[in-house]
Amino acid sequence: MDNEKYLLTAHLMRRAGFGATGLGLSKLAEEEYENIVEGLLSPTAPKAIEDALVRRYHPDQSVTHDSTGAGSYWLYRLVSTEDPLREKMALFWHNILATGYAKVTNGKPLTDQSRMFRNYGLGTLDEILLHLSRDPAMIIWLDNIDNHNESINENYGRELLELFSMGVGNYTEEDIKECARAFTGWTIANADYIKQLALRNSIMPYGKLAWRYEYDPDDHDGGEKTFLGETGDFDGGDIIRIICKQESTARFISRHLYHFFVADEPPVTQWPYMPPQDPEAINILEKAYFENNYNIKEMLRVLFNSDFFKSKACRYKKIKSPAELVAGILRITEEFDVPRIELSERNSQISFMGQQLFNPPSVEGWHQGLEWIETGSLTERVSFVSKQLGDTSKPGIKKIVNNILDNGEERITSESCVDRCLDELGALEVSQSIRETLLEFVDETGLSKTNLSADRHLAEKKLSTILSVVGSTPEFQRS
C-alpha cells in the first residue's frame, strides 16, 4: 500500500468526517483518492435509523423544553451517520449561521434548523440563505418577527450582511435598512399559539411544538428599494440574489471553508483587519464559487483535491471542536450502535469542553482554534478521551486491542506497539519528541516483556493505558 496515499486518506477523513480507524482507512485507501472524495460528496444511499424510532425509545430527545434532548439527538446522528460530510457541513453552518437556545427557548425548531442544514448545506449559497431566512428559529433569534412595514427591525438584515454572507466593510448602513425592508412580512404563523403552550408547559411527552414560517403580504414593504447599487421592488429573495453575486460574498464564504477544512484562521471579527494566511487558496475557492453558481459541494470538490489541502503543511493545523472530538471518539468506541440514554451524558461532556450544541455564545458562533483550549477545557478533553480509549469493555476498543495483540507472536516490541496504536487511532503522525515519550511510556508499562498468550488479560490492561495516553497527544486532539 502507498503509505503517503494512506496518510492523505487519513487527513481527508479527519477533515471531511470524524476520522477513521486503521481498518476503515485500509479499506478506503484501496480506492483512488479522487474516488474517496466523490464518495464523501455523493454517498450512495447511506442508511440511518428513522427519527420516529429514535424518539419512540428515547422520548427525552423529543422533550425539547431545553437544549439537552436536541443536543443528544444530534450527537447520535454525528456518531452513527454513514454520510459524515453532510453532518460536518451541518456543524459548519451551525457555527456561521449561529442560532441559540438562549433566546429561542425551544429545542424543536433548532433541531429542524439542523435538519435544514443537513438537507441543503451542500447546495448553493442562495438556496441555503433563502431557507435560513424562512427558518422559524432564525426569525425568532434575530427578531424578524418584529420586522414590520413602516417599523423595521434591522437585526436580521444586519447579521445577514455582516456575519452570514459578506463581512464588515462591504455594505452601508443604508443597505442594512433596505435589506430589512425587503424581509418585512417574513414571519411566523403560529407564534401566539406556541407562546400559550409554552406558558402552560403541559405538553409532555412530546415537547414544545415547532413554529411555522409564513409570508404576510399585508406586512411587506412593497416600495422601491436600492440595495448594493441596484434598485427595484425587492423582496428577501431578490436581496439574497444580489448578495450572492458579490465578490465579497465569494471571498467571505471561501475563507470560512478554508478556516473549517484547511487551517484555523482568526475569529471572523478580525478578518477586515487581517488578511487570510493563504490568499492564493482563497482565490481558487472564489473562482470555484462563481464558476459553479455558488454551489458549496463544487467548492468542496475543488478544496479537497487541491494542493493546499493535500499539503503536509496543513496537517494537524486545526484543533478539533468539542463536538468533533466527542463524535470521533464515540465512532471509535462503537458504543452507540443504537441510541441509548447514555448519549445525554456524552452530550454534557461536549458542554464541559466549551461547546453546547444549539446554544452558541452569540450570533458570531464559537471562536475556534486555540480558543477551544484553556486549562479547564483541556483537562475535560484529555480526561474524556483517556477514559473512553482505555475502556476495553467498549466494542470498538476491544477490536483495536485484538488487532494490535493478535500479531502471531508471543511478544510485541515497544516500537511496534507505538506504531500500531497510532495507526489504529487514525494513522496519526506524531512529532519525534512525542514518539520518544510514547516509547518511554510503553517501556514503563512492561508490555514488551509480557507474554501475549499466557498473560493476555494483563497485556490488554497495559495496552488500554497506552491507548489512553495516545489520545492525549496534541496530534490526536487536532485534525
pLDDT tens for 254-277 read 999 999 999 999 999 999 999 999
Cβ–Cβ < 8 Å for 445, 465? yes
**Predicted TM-score (pTM) of this structure:** 0.94
Which range (100-109, 230-239, 366-375) has the least confidence?
Answer: 100-109
Please count the other Cβ atoms lying within 10 Å of the Cβ belonging to residue 215: 13
- Beta-carbon contacts of residue 298 (< 8 Å; ≥ 6 apart): 288, 291, 292
pLDDT digits (tens, 9 = 90+) for 344-362: 899 999 999 999 999 999 9
Q: What is the mean pLDDT of residues 308-335?
A: 96
Q: Confidence class of residue 68 from pLDDT cuts 50, 70 and 90? A: confident
* Cα 140 from Cα 427, distance rounded (Å): 44
Q: Is 192 exposed, middle or buried (0-12, 13-18, 19+ CB in 10 A)?
A: exposed
> Per-residue pLDDT for 165 more than 80?
yes
Q: What's the chain's average pLDDT? A: 92
* Cα 338 from Cα 134, distance rounded (Å): 33
Q: What is the mean pLDDT of residues 105-131?
A: 93
* Cα 418 from Cα 438, distance rounded (Å): 7
DSSP 8-state code for residue 454? T
Cβ–Cβ < 8 Å for 350, 293? no
